[in-house]
Every structure is written in structure tokens, then in C-alpha cells.
Amino acid sequence: MSLLEVNNLTIAFGDKKVVDSISFTLEKGSRIGLIGESGSGKSMTSLAIMGLLPDTATVSGSITFEGQELIGLSDREHSHLRGNRMGMVFQEPLTALNPLMRIGKQIAGPLMIHKGASLKDALGSALELCTKVGLPDPDRVLRAYPHQLSGGQRQRIGLAIALACEPALLIADEPTTALDVTVQREVLNLINTLVDQEGSSLVFVTHDLPVVSIMTENIAVMQLGQIVENATVASLFQAPKHEYSQRLINAARVAEDAFSGTGGIK
């Protein structure tokens, strides 16, 4: 049994289909990258898995997670899985943290909700999680407010929150897009290490082909709500079957050429 099976998932707002009957499976401990431009439906897909789509969306098809059908699950039942069996890291680490709540309590949240931990115990675990995500001086970090930390530190907190309950599935929705290039690499390496360590599966959503290629072994290329190509990283780079995949690769090459000096920037 696969950990996650998405079958003919369709998400529509009124008449407009933002995700159009996509299917993919994710085995336990494996990873998949969802790549595509803005509006290709990759974020909507991840929100559908988390059960966080707005009320106005109509969803059809099937998503099975650990053998359980998620479409049609009540919000209450779905909330038992969120943050517990499945965790999510968001794009903008500053706005994804409550500005008026100390970091410690925010990391402690999922542990208190799902594991019934007391605040004291949860804060103890939060301290360990801070160390695990490589934050220096975790005691100070737990007492800090989000605005007192740097972007990279905040994203590490986001990761700590998502992984607090040791989820089977981690969804990372453009987790490094809002970060400095130098920090991006650190955060990507951290996600890599932690996902391996925990044996979690990973859905990595991005528009950045080079990033996804170092994070996952499989890539699903999305365009206008459809998966136009589903391939391994190696075969996608060597022989892209779809014209849109080719364009993505070309775009990534342009950037590479620029750095290696054969392109525009001297």
C-alpha cells in the first residue's frame, strides 16, 4: 500500500478547474517534486492533501493517505491528521508564524494538540526540536518572537513545527522561495537530512527546477492544472517528453550558463 495515492483529483472554483484530474502515488519514505509555474495548481494540490482548501472549492476524485480516503473527510477528522501524520512547511516563514506568540509555544502547539502533552513537556520537546533543526542558542529562540529571528531561522522553526509530531508525510510548499540564496541551500540540506532521518515521505512544491532536482528523485511537471509529465529527475533532464518540461529545463540552463560564463553575464 502506498502512503499517498492521488487519483483523478480535480479542484474547481465555480466553472474554473485549477487542478484537472491529476494522479500520482508516493511510496513510504520516497519523495516527489511538484513543479510548475504560478497557477499550475501545485499549491492547490498540496492544500487538498492537507484538507485546507477554502469552502468555495469543489473537489472530486480521490486522495488516499495511509489507506484512508481524504476526500469527503470531515474537517474535524482531517484535523487529527494535520500536523500529526502530515506536516506542512510554508513559503513565507514570517507570515506563517503568529507575530504575538513566542516561538516555544508555537512549536509546542502540535504536540499539545495531538499528543496531549502539557505545556511544560511540549516546551521540553520544542527545545530538542530547535537543536535538531540546527538553531543555535535554543533557549533564547524559544523565548523569542518571530520578528526577532532571521528568515532562515524562521524557516527552521517552520520545519520544527511541521516535524514536531514525526509525520509520515511532509509537504514543503516553496519552502526556500522567500529566502536568501545563501540560506536556501542550508534549509534545503536541512530538509534533506531530516526527511531521511525521520523516514518521512516528501512532497516538494516549487517552480525552481534546479532546487527540485537536488531534493527529489521523481518529478511531476504541472501546467494549467494537469500533470504533463511524470518522470525521474535523470530521465527528465536527459529526455524531456513534454514541450513544457523542455522549456523549464531550457530556462534552468540559461541561468546555469550565465554563471558558468558562457551566457550573458561576464
Partner 1 sequence: MKKAMKGNISLITGSVMVAITFSLLILSFIWTPHDPLEVTPDDSFAGISSKHFLGADKLGRDILSQIIVGSRVTLLVAALAVTIAMTLGVSAGITIAVASRKLQAPMVYAVNIALAFPAALLAIILAAVYGASTLTAVSAIGLATAAAVAQVTRRTAYGILASDYVLAAHACGASTWRIIRKHVMPNLRASLLIQASAVVSVSVLAESSLSYLGLGTPPPAPSWGRMLAGSQQYIFVNPLLAIWPGIAIVIVVLGFNLVGDGVREVFDPTLRRSDS
DSSP letter (8 states) at residue 61:
E
Interface with partner 1 (CB under 8 A), residue from 33, 41, 87, 138: 87
Question: Strands 201-206 and 169-173: what pairing?
Answer: parallel
57 part of the interface to partner 1, by CB under 8 A: no
Q: How far is CA 51 from CA 35, 39, 69, 78, 106, in A?
A: 20, 19, 12, 6, 21
Least distance from partner 1 to the Cβ atom of residue 59, Å: 16
Nearer to partner 1, 113 or 224 (CB): 113
181 part of the interface to partner 1, by CB under 8 A: no
Interface with partner 1 (CB under 8 A), residue from 60, 143, 210, 243: 143
Least distance from partner 1 to the Cβ atom of residue 32, Å: 19
241 part of the interface to partner 1, by CB under 8 A: no
Nearer to partner 1, 145 or 237 (CB): 145
Q: Is 233 exposed, middle or buried (0-12, 13-18, 19+ CB in 10 A)?
A: middle
Nearer to partner 1, 90 or 244 (CB): 90
Interface with partner 1 (CB under 8 A), residue from 100, 136, 182, 259: 100
**Cα–Cα dist 18/12, whole Å:** 6
**Cα–Cα dist 129/141, whole Å:** 11
76 part of the interface to partner 1, by CB under 8 A: yes
Give the ranges where the chain is alpha helix by DSSP (H): 42-50, 75-81, 103-114, 119-132, 138-143, 151-163, 181-198, 209-215, 233-238, 243-260
Per CB under 8 A, which region of 15-23, 28-36, 140-148, 218-226 contacts partner 1? Answer: 140-148
Q: Which three cell numbers stand for residue 249?
A: 529545463
Least distance from partner 1 to the Cβ atom of residue 72, Å: 18
Query: Hey, which residues does 7 pair with through a beta bridge?
Result: 62
Nearer to partner 1, 170 or 221 (CB): 170
Q: 76's torsion region: left (phi>0), alpha (psi -120 to 50) or beta?
A: alpha
Residue 156: how many other CB atoms lie within 10 Å: 26
Least distance from partner 1 to the Cβ atom of residue 96, Å: 4
Query: Which residues of the shown chain bind partner 1 in the complex (CB under 8 A)?
Result: 50, 52, 55-56, 76, 79-84, 87-88, 90, 92, 95-101, 105, 109-110, 113-114, 143-145, 147-148, 158, 161-162
